[in-house]
Structure formats: structure tokens, C-alpha cells
Structure 1
Amino acid sequence: MPSQDTSVAERLAELRRKRGMTQEQLADAAGVSLGVVRKLEQGGTARIENYHRLGRVLGVRTVWFMSPENPAPRADDQRDPVLADIRSAVNPPLGLRGRIYPDDDVPPNLHLLGRAVESVAAHYQADRYDDVARLSPAVIRSAHAHVDLLEGDDRAEAIRLRSDALQLTARYLIQIREHDLSLIALRDALTDAMTVGDQALAAACIGEQGWALLRQGRFDEVEQLCADTADVLEPSKLSQTPKAIVAAWGYILMRAGAAAVRNNRPTEAREYQQLAQSAGEIVGDEIATAGHMRFGKTTALMNGMQNELVSGRPDVALSMVDEIRPRQGQATENTQQRYALDQANAHLMLRNVDRTTEIMMGLKATAPTWFSQQQAARDIAEDMLDQAKRMPSGDQREIAEFLGVTN
């Protein structure tokens, strides 16, 4: 194995040669362009899924390609002013007397606070992200004030609602790729959930933490985090355990499997996924879980389909559609949208560009806000343009323009 104190470019070239492969052979076996291999061996970077494909051929984990380096400077994208209010609510300044929040002289009202949290959840599920960004800072600040002013059972309920509000805000932040800020929100949401002993809500916070870490390519950490959590949650007798706890356990196992399959650990991924699907069978029809999420047989199957896709088996992934189709409406809107994107990617991997285009146009029409935030959609659009004929269709150009992708 190449030494770990060299650059990724040097290690990749050394390992490729030890495997007796030319750059062309490696690119062909991994299903990536020759330009990707050349770029990496010259010190460039690639998408995580390309690291995964190369790692699968070379027999190393995806994280093998992750090397700490000084990141190149980037132009200011001017997002900080837009996110200033959320940053202030989620990560306020810390002084010698604790965190500093604005004064709030509004009398506490748990009923109104609960309705406000539900409103943020409804906006998030409907992809109304502007409303989430507008409402969530005020809801979080109100929750802080309630916790400070109330006592006893009322205070415990305020803490639970604050955890819920922070977790919802973190989910929005993940969608817009503000992963570090989302992890701060989830850290505090988890602390609150554990303070009031709400195990299901705590599991939801950990599951969302896993999602944010997956987006950062931290696969080893996600697998360990979720495997440890699943060990704690594992029911002694599935058939006698409340479905909400079984759902929380299954949801965490899905995250562990997603991390393992992306890190070229297929055996472990299958084991996690089989357990998640067992949980899904016990739960049956999707049920609402803590943190405004849903889990059941359908969600577990959709995750299994995605794992097959990541494993480079688009034909197997698409073979699962018939089983999922009758129940897909039970999943959350976001889960269904991701499922549609996975189908588009599977068809593209099988070089059915027209079907990919059709699905992508459907997502653009029905879920434009969600669609515009998905890096996976941009990656599919780039590959779609590569596969298209010399003159992309009008729909393909429309998708690329909408997502900001250039050929």
C-alpha cells in the first residue's frame, strides 16, 4: 500500500501501477473518463462518486482519497449576509456568562411555540425554503426564551420543542450545503433531546448528523456513529417493541449502510440494509417518527435501491421499482424526490438518456426549489450532457441552464 504521507496524486499513480493498470485501463474499469484519472494524478480533484468508483476497482475505501490539504481560496459567494439571522440563532456568541441571546419580553406560550415549530416543518416538507429561512431563527430564539422562563414539565416541553426546531433548521441547512452550521444545530438539538430523555428524537438528530457528515465525505465517522447508536437502540424483541423505536432503529441503520456502501464496504452495507429492511417490515406502512420524518417498508426499500445504484448496479436498482411503486406515496415528499433522482441516475448509467431527461424535467416542474439545491442533480446533468448527442435536446439544455451546468 502506498505511504500515507504522500499526495493523493502520487499515491493514486503508485497504486495504479502496483495493480498493473494503465490510466486508460483504470478509467475503463471504473467507468470514469480518462480525463478524471489524468486530472487526479496531476493533483486535481474529482466528485466523491468518482473516488468511490476508482476505489472499488483499486480495492481501497473511498476515504483513502481524502487527504488534508490547504483548500484553495474561493470567491465570496455572498451567502453570509443572507444567512446572518440563522447563524445568530443557531450559533450565538458565547460569553463568560454563557450564550448571548436578544432580550425577548413576550410571555411564554407553549401552545403557540408548538404551532410555530409545526409551521416550520410544513414549510420544509413543501420545499418552501425561503419561509423556513425566514421563520426558523425567530422560532429558535422563542424556544430559548421559553426554556429560560419556564420550570418543571413546561420547561421540559420547551426543551423538546427547541430540539425539534433546531433539527428542522439543520435539515434546511443541509439542503443548502451549509453543513458545518447544520452540525452545530444538530449538536445542540441532540443535547436537548437527551436532556428530556426523548430517545426517538435523539435518534432523529443523530440520523440527520449522519446525513450532514455523508455530504462531507466523512464515511468512516458516519458508519461508526450510526452503528454505535443502532447498538443502543436495538430492540431485544422486535415484535414487542413500540413501532416508533423500531423505526428509529431502522432509520439509523439506513444511514450506516449508506456510509458503508459509499466507502466501498459492500458486505457491511448489505448487513446494515438487511437489518433496516427487517425494521421496515415490522413497521409496515410508513409512520411519522420524531423529528418530522417517516419510516417504514417503503423508505427502507428506497434506501436499498440507492445503495445498489452506488454499488454500480443500476439494473438491480431499477428492478426494485415495481415493488416500491404501489407504496411510494407513503414516503415524505423529499424522500420521493430523491427516489426519482435515483431512477434518473440509474437510467443514465444504463445510457437511457431520454428517460433520464424525462424524469429530470418532471422534477424541475414539480419540485423546482428542492431540485435546484441538489448537487446530485447537477452531477447527473453534467453526465447527461456528456452522453447526449453533439446537439443536446431543448429539454436537456433547459435542465442544464436551470441547474447552472455548462457543457
Structure 2
Amino acid sequence: MDHDSTVSDRLVQLRRRRGMSQEDLAEAADLSVGVVRKLEQGGTARIETYHRLGRALGVRTVWFMTPESPAPRVDDHRDTVLADIRSAVNPPAGIHGRIYPDDDVPPNLALLGRAVEAVASHYQADRYDDVARLSPALVRSAHMHVAALQGQERERAVRLRADALQLTGRYCIQIREHDLGIIALRDALTDALAVGDQGLAAAAIGQQGWTLLRQARFDEVEQLCVDTADALEPEKLTKADHGQIAAWGYILMRAAASAARNNRPDEARQYQAFARSAAEVVGEEIDTAGHMKFGPATVAMNGMQNELIADHPDRALELSEQIRANQAAATPNTQQRYALDKASAHLKLRNVEKTTQIMLALKAKAPVWLRNQTTARHLAEDLLEQAKRMPSSDHREIADFLGLAV
């Protein structure tokens, strides 16, 4: 198959090679014939649609991905807003290395540590404006501390810089500034490895995997996470430190997520089973490096999402009933993603009312987070499509909030 051809050409060729008509493919993928025709005529679709087509045709989801030039950006306002973060995370480099502004303030590791915790709290509370405002100064201060200190103090400064960079990278990914986020996360990983902090290294690698998942780079994420998990795997789970077990299990969850999205269900189940074993040993949700949590509830939520991706919304909701009692133990971000997954599962089962209730609850509880979620926009679009005649006031409220035309 010529991978330099367009997606539409490759889809037509593969469908014919499988001996299927457009109607046959639409039925096998549980899509409308109109969607198949649109794609074969050069149209585009969501990742979920390509996932269904891949399953029906027996290929990985990434088979449909092809390099394209990015669409031109009309509004450069975001560049202005992020200029300070860009300067801190990706400064110019000269003959003697990266160039940072001079800072005459004496180092204070205790103060730097409190600043890292403050930015982490803002991030978990979805106060993204505060993260954007504080993280550039935090990263620059961390650079200054590393340059000014020696010995054990410098090692602690490097660890705090890794923490500051991975938090900044997570924020950039959340607002879909993926390339900038990857730069921050790679530097965070370099620092974490320099001081031998496996937990922080796993956090940086896992977050890097997250942004690559958003770019549909599923094969790369799976390989990245499998290689990392092999390096982190404890010799004996029952005797290993819980922090090491959590780092290993967290990376395996990311591997499972990538395999599930790439139509590799057997591999996804295998990775998820290992992650579940790690969570069982840990026993409860524990705080991990990178201001995250790992434990049975977080792993179960990941498994529920994998069932949803595999087009089993009924199984996903069955799992959600088992999670209900322990969901509050996960981080706020994980809980919000879990709620959005439940909304997706209900909509797949045509329960518009339940989907609407969850979306409105998220709008009230986590408005900034919700507005930054592509899945939320897709759900709102589907709610509008399923509306009979005129959309309800609730659906118009959700659409207006997410900036969609009704």
C-alpha cells in the first residue's frame, strides 16, 4: 500500500481489497454511508471514526494517519499570551549554551519548593491563568538555583526544576501547545534522570506520551511506554517501594491507552492487567512524583476509557459502577476526565438526558478545564445533531459555552 497517497485513496483501495462496498464498510464500522463517502472523496473525520474503520478493515488506526501541512492560524493572540512561557522554556542558545536573564536574587530552595507546590495546586484546580502567569518566573528561578548552587543543594534544585518544567509542560499540553509542552517535558526528563528520580522521569515520559496520543502517534507512544516499563519493572512487586511500583504501573496505563486507540485490544488488555496488578499491590491511591496519583481507582478509570475506545459503552458503564465508591480518591483532573468518559458512554447508548446532565455538571464544577477539552466539543456537536427539531435550552447553553454554532 502506498503511504504517500492520500487517506481517501488508501481507504478506497483497502475497502476494495477487502471486497466490501461502501454500504458494507459503513455497516461493519457502524457508520453512515454518507461518512464513508465523504472520507473517500477527501473529507476528514475524528480519530474515533478512523478507529471504527480500522477495526472493520483489520488495520491499526495509525494506518489512516498521513503527514499534512498544518492549517494556517488566523489568530496569533495565543503566541502573545505564551511569549513569556516560550522565553522561559525555550530560550535562545549561543556558543556557551542557553541564554537566561541575569538574576541577582539569592537562592532560596525552601521558597522555590513552595512555589512549585503553589503552581501544582493551581494546575489541579484548573486555574490555568495563574499557571500561565507564574510558571515562567518559576522556571527561570529554578534555572538560577541550578546555576548558583553546588553539591546536594544543586541536586535538589535540579529536582525542583524538573518538577517545574513538567508542570509547565502539562499546562502547555492542556491548552494544545503540544510542541512547546514536549520541549518542557524533555528537559524535565533530562533533569529527573540526572538526579536518578525514577518517579519524576516516569511522570515526564507519561506526560510526553499524553501529548503524542493527542497527535495520534500511537505506535510511538506504545513503544516509548513499553521500553520505559521494562526499565522500571520491579524485580519483585511485593518487596518493591510503592513509589517505584506506581511509576511502573502509571507508564503501563499509558501503554494500554495507546494500544487501545490503535486497534490493538489484546495488547491493551495485557498492559492494563499489569497496571491493575501494580495498583493492587499499592492498595490505595497514593501521591506520586509529578503531582499525580496512582492506585486502583485511577487504573480502573483508565480501563473504563479503554472499553469506551473499543466501542463497548455498556462495559464502560458497568465498570463505572464499580469505580463510583472510590472515584473521589483520584486527582480532580482524572475525575473530570472520567466524568466526560461517562458522558460519552451514555451518548453512545443514546441516553441524551444523562449526557446532558453530566456536561452541565462539569460546566458548573470545572468550566476552564471543560472548555479546553476537544472531547467536550465533540459531545456537544453530537448532542446538537441528535436534538429533535430545535435544540433544548440546556443544549444551547452547552454549545454557547464551548463556542459552537447552534
TM-score range, shorter chain: over 0.9
- Counterparts of 2:99 and 2:277, CA distance in 1: 46
Q: Which residue of 2 aligns with 1:22?
A: 21
Q: Which residue of 1 aligns with 2:399?
A: 400
Within 5 Å, give how 1:34-49 maps onto structure 2. 34-49=33-48
**Residue identity in the other structure for 1:39:** K
- Counterparts of 1:287 and 1:66, CA distance in 2: 37
User: Which has the higher mean CA deviation after the structures are superposed, 93-102 or 2-11?
Assistant: 2-11
Q: Which residue of 2 aligns with 1:193?
A: 192
Change (3 A) 1:77 1:353: farther
**Residue identity in the other structure for 2:269:** R
CA offset digits 1:99-121 (Å, max 9, x no partner): 01111110000000000000000
TM-score by length of structure 1 reads 0.98
- Counterparts of 2:11 and 2:276, CA distance in 1: 36
Indicate yes or no: 2:92 matched with 1:110: no
**Residue identity in the other structure for 2:199:** A
Indicate yes or no: 2:186 matched with 1:207: no
Provide the aligned C-alpha RMSD in A. Answer: 1.1
Q: Which residue of 2 aligns with 1:262?
A: 261
Secondary structure of 1:79's counterpart equals: helix
Within 5 Å, give how 1:56-135 maps onto structure 2. 56-135=55-134
Q: Which residue of 2 aligns with 1:170?
A: 169
Q: Which residue of 2 aligns with 1:221?
A: 220
User: Which has the higher mean CA deviation after the structures are superposed, 68-77 or 223-232?
Assistant: 68-77
Q: Deviation at 1:196?
A: 0.5
Q: Which runs of 5+ in 2 are unaligned?
A: none
Q: Which residue of 2 aligns with 1:156?
A: 155
**Residue identity in the other structure for 2:117:** E
State the percentage of identical aligned residues.
Answer: 70
Q: Deviation at 1:67?
A: 1.2
Q: Which residue of 2 aligns with 1:248?
A: 247
- Counterparts of 2:395 and 2:402, CA distance in 1: 11
**Residue identity in the other structure for 2:37:** R
**Residue identity in the other structure for 1:251:** Y
Secondary structure of 2:287's counterpart equals: strand
Secondary structure of 1:43's counterpart equals: coil
Q: Deviation at 1:48?
A: 1.1
Q: Which residue of 2 aligns with 1:378?
A: 377
Tell me if structure 2 keeps the 8 A contact 1:372–1:403: yes
Q: Deviation at 1:22?
A: 2.4
- Counterparts of 1:169 and 1:69, CA distance in 2: 28
User: Which has the higher mean CA deviation after the structures are superposed, 7-16 or 125-134?
Assistant: 7-16
Q: Which residue of 1 aligns with 2:145?
A: 146
CA offset digits 1:121-170 (Å, max 9, x no partner): 00000000000000000000000000000000000000000000000011
Q: Deviation at 1:8?
A: 1.1
Tell me if structure 2 keeps the 8 A contact 1:347–1:356: yes
- Counterparts of 1:127 and 1:73, CA distance in 2: 29
Q: Deviation at 1:305?
A: 0.2
TM-score by length of structure 2 reads 0.98
- Counterparts of 2:38 and 2:89, CA distance in 1: 39
**Residue identity in the other structure for 2:334:** T
- Counterparts of 2:291 and 2:194, CA distance in 1: 19
CA offset digits 1:284-319 (Å, max 9, x no partner): 110000000000000000000000000000000000
Tell me if structure 2 keeps the 8 A contact 1:382–1:406: no
Change (3 A) 1:72 1:333: closer
Q: Which residue of 2 aligns with 1:346?
A: 345
CA offset digits 1:193-230 (Å, max 9, x no partner): 00011111101111111101101111000000000000
User: Which has the higher mean CA deviation after the structures are superposed, 2-11 or 360-369?
Assistant: 2-11
Change (3 A) 1:363 1:188: same
- Counterparts of 2:60 and 2:405, CA distance in 1: 31
Q: Which runs of 5+ in 1 are unaligned?
A: none
**Residue identity in the other structure for 1:252:** I
Q: Deviation at 1:77?
A: 4.2
- Counterparts of 1:191 and 1:88, CA distance in 2: 19
